[in-house]
Amino acid sequence: MRYPEQAEPSSAGPSSAGLDHAGPSNGHHVNGNGVQKLTNGKQAVARVSLPGSHLYDDSDVDREEFVRLVIQSLRDVGYHGSAATLEAESGYAMESQQVADFRRYILEARWSKAENALQRLGVEDREGLWDARFLISQQKYLELLEAQRTTDALQVLRNELAPLDVDPEQLHILSSLMMCSQPEDLRQRAGWDGATGKSRHILLDNLHRYIPPSVMVPPRRFSALLHQANEYQRQQCVYHNIPTSGSSAFSLFADHECDKTGFPRVTTTILEVHTDQVWVLDWSRDGNLLASASNDKSVIIWGIGPETEMPIREWEKRLVLKHPYPVISLAWSLDNSILLTGSETHIKMWNTKTGICIRTLDEHSEPVTAFVWLPDNSGFLSAGMDFKIVLWNTDGQRQETWATLPVRITQMVITPDSTRLVAIGLVAPSPVDARPDGDAPPTGTNMSTPPPKEQHRLLVYDMDSRRNESCMVFEGELTSLSISENSQYALLNRSPDDIQLLDLNLGRLVRKYTGHRQTKHIIRSCFGGFESNFVVSGSEDGNVYVWHRDTGVLLEMLDGHGEGSVNCVAWNPSNERMFASCSDDRTIRIWEAPPDMMLEEYPLQKGKGKASGSRT
């Protein structure tokens, strides 16, 4: 906003923290000659008049908005004198005196004046005005309780908060705070840090939602715009695989783009010990051990050597765990001390240091297809084609049947935020009701009626209540399930030739990834890289495919495996530049970013991975 020609503007001060520095020291005024004179004794600043209203002739950026944001940013970082000088030279004030007064009233707990000022700040929506008044009265109520002025607080509750059509449950919660005998108890129960904390500044930030941004500039707005620009650049950088903070943070001086040479697309090690098809891979939690399961009735635990001056780290076969049947499922405990394996209906618990089988569990009546360890390390869940999920403690003692699902479970995952269990499987005739809620079937239900042909489902359960939250139905076999690090996305392999990205929060399809081949085999894909930026999958054509998650662009088609399917890929959980793949060709390949010594020998112009050698 532009100053009135003879008006005295507000003084400089922090924009997001309130006008703590308000006062005449950085004030200025306009004299009759159009010269802004600073009142702190500094040299007068002449006001600059520029043609037009845009920042540049070929720009759509409004000059006044830009300058006001610069003034706000200068104040935020402490350059109060520079902010005042810019206001004087440009003739633009970051905000009006009314806004400055409103900020001061909030920070000084002058609640009546704050409410009166609020109505003069352009809040036109009646509901918005009521919401803003509620926030102010709520702060007033809490501060009175903190000061142990219970009678005054009760008057605010009855006469100011209750008439605002507050949700009864919310009003009940506020009234219950009157039972707090000590201020510490009040602050803890209310999730509020008190009058002397940051609560008034937080209140100001929340009030921004109801005041037009042109009147009261949102806090740290320039920083928010820069963050949005950086986030856009990150999303457009299809090979992005590095943290965006610290020494590798984005620069403001150039657009961001990651070098392709840092992407894992070279086979640095081939592990050749299995005597039959390798089906499943699973990394230990620290990324130093890799377990592989095979049709040869064994699981091998591989160890990666320590980092050395050599560009390629050594691998070794640590343990071979023998089974009576082929192994189809694996899971490491949270401390990596136990490995669970599923072989037909048997569950085996292995000591990963000695290779001794601790216990064999025989609860399931059909093949065991999935395990997940509980986030609190109190035990694990097992699931199988017999429709049920069983809860075990860490010693392998059965606790209960955690749930009975309406599908033959093929895979399940607990989301990284520990709030939901996601499972996939095939609907088939069973002794239980084939409905997502798992309740008793309605009277007259014919349990022998088969479901539609090849109907598969994705089911989401709340971990605390164990109730079903959602169900999605698919045609075509679901063979793989992965969850992104932020717990928002689920990745599904669906035959034929389809990998889908689902938003679990919205319950809808976000994107599809194509190019690989899957018609008859179980293919297990996964997320990978920094912030789960990549989707990687095997294929029946013997190649490994890598896509950029957010754009769906196919980045790499990595060859090297022999005939047959690449059955499983697994990204190292502690190394964003390493993943493993296993194949019908009986081998496991470790893929890494090409070491410097290999770049000249294998330039990889076409994105094809080349084997550098093997370790056995």
Q: What are phi and psi of 260, to 5 degrees?
A: -60, -25
Tell me the C-alpha distance between 40 and 36, whole Å.
12
| Residue/partner pairs of 120-124 with CB below 8 Å, 24 or more apart | 121/211, 121/212, 121/215, 121/216, 122/211, 122/212, 122/215, 123/210, 123/211, 123/212
131: tokens are: 């919401």
Strands (E), 235-363: 266-271, 278-283, 289-294, 298-304, 315-322, 329-332, 338-343, 346-351, 357-361
pLDDT tens sequence across 372-398: 999 998 999 999 999 999 999 999 999
Average pLDDT on 349-362 reads 96
Comparing C-alpha atoms, which of 213, 254, 216 is closest to residue 233? 254
71 and 105 assigned to the same domain:
no
Residue 483 lies in a domain: no
Considering its fold, how many domains does the chain have in total? 2
Out of 42, 66, 95, a domain closes at 95
Tell me if 483 sits within 8 A of 460, measured CB to CB.
Answer: no
Sign of CA dihedral 432, 435, 437, 442: negative
Question: DSSP code of 513?
Answer: E
Average pLDDT on 597-608 reads 40
Q: Is the pLDDT confidence value at 321 over 50?
A: yes
pLDDT at residue 26, rounded to an integer: 34
Residue 199 lies in a domain: yes
pLDDT at residue 439, rounded to an integer: 43
Q: What are phi and psi of 267, to 5 degrees?
A: -75, 115
Bridge partners, 29 (sequence order): 37
pLDDT at residue 240, rounded to an integer: 82
Lowest-pLDDT choice from 11-25, 110-124, 148-162: 11-25
78 and 128 assigned to the same domain:
no
Containing domain of residue 60, as a range? 24-95
84 and 105 assigned to the same domain:
no
Q: Is the pLDDT confidence value at 452 over 80?
A: no
Residue 377 lies in a domain: no
42 and 126 assigned to the same domain:
no
- The residue that leads in pLDDT, 252 or 440, is 252
Q: Is the pLDDT confidence value at 612 over 90?
A: no
Tell me if 271 sits within 8 A of 590, measured CB to CB.
Answer: yes
160 and 206 assigned to the same domain:
yes
Residues 6+ apart with CB under 8 A from 612: 266, 267, 268, 269, 312, 598, 602
- What is the chain's length? 616
What are the CA-CA distances from residue 178 to residues 146, 149, 186, 234, 597 (Å)? 10, 10, 8, 48, 70
Residue 61 lies in a domain: yes
Tell me if 330 sits within 8 A of 299, measured CB to CB.
Answer: yes
Residue 518 lies in a domain: no
Q: Is the pLDDT confidence value at 591 over 70?
A: yes
279: tokens are: 């089906």
Residue 157 lies in a domain: yes
pLDDT at residue 174, rounded to an integer: 94
pTM over 0.75: no
DSSP H or E segment with residue 469 = strand 468-475
Three-state secondary structure of 45-65: EECCCCCCCECCCCCCCEHHH
pLDDT at residue 9, rounded to an integer: 36
Residue 69 lies in a domain: yes
**Averaging pLDDT over each range in 251-255, 407-411, 427-431, 592-596, which range is the top one?**
407-411
Tell me if 336 sits within 8 A of 328, measured CB to CB.
Answer: no
41 and 139 assigned to the same domain:
no
pLDDT tens sequence across 78-103: 999 999 999 999 999 998 999 999 99
209: tokens are: 């939602």
Out of 95, 129, 152, a domain closes at 95
pLDDT at residue 306, rounded to an integer: 73
pLDDT tens sequence across 208-246: 999 999 999 998 999 999 989 888 887 788 888 776 554
pLDDT tens sequence across 413-444: 999 999 999 999 999 754 444 333 444 333 33
DSSP H or E segment with residue 582 = strand 578-583
85 and 107 assigned to the same domain:
no
Tell me the C-alpha distance between 46 and 90, whole Å.
9
Which residue type sits at 277?
Answer: Q
Residue 496 preceded by cis peptide, ω within 30:
yes
Q: How confident is the model at residue 256 (pLDDT cuts 50, 70, 90)?
A: confident
Out of 173, 200, 216, a domain closes at 216
Mean pLDDT, rounded, of the chain = 85
Residue 405 lies in a domain: no
Comparing C-alpha atoms, which of 567, 564, 372 is closest to residue 480? 567
Q: How confident is the model at residue 527 (pLDDT cuts 50, 70, 90)?
A: very high
SS3 content of the chain, % helix, strand, coil (to 5): 25, 30, 45
Q: How confident is the model at residue 453 (pLDDT cuts 50, 70, 90)?
A: low
399: tokens are: 């606790």
pLDDT at residue 437, rounded to an integer: 42
| Sheet of 544-548, strands arranged across | 526-528, 534-537, 544-548, 554-558
82 and 125 assigned to the same domain:
no
Comparing C-alpha atoms, which of 534, 533, 495 is closest to residue 517? 495
44 and 137 assigned to the same domain:
no
Tell me if 593 sits within 8 A of 579, measured CB to CB.
Answer: no
87 and 153 assigned to the same domain:
no
Tell me the C-alpha distance between 225 and 220, whole Å.
9
pLDDT at residue 309, rounded to an integer: 58
SS3 for 285? coil
Number of other CB atoms surrounding residue 135 within 10 Å: 18
32 and 46 assigned to the same domain:
yes
122 and 178 assigned to the same domain:
yes
Give the percent of the chain with pLDDT over 70.
83
Q: How confident is the model at residue 454 (pLDDT cuts 50, 70, 90)?
A: low
Q: How confident is the model at residue 311 (pLDDT cuts 50, 70, 90)?
A: low
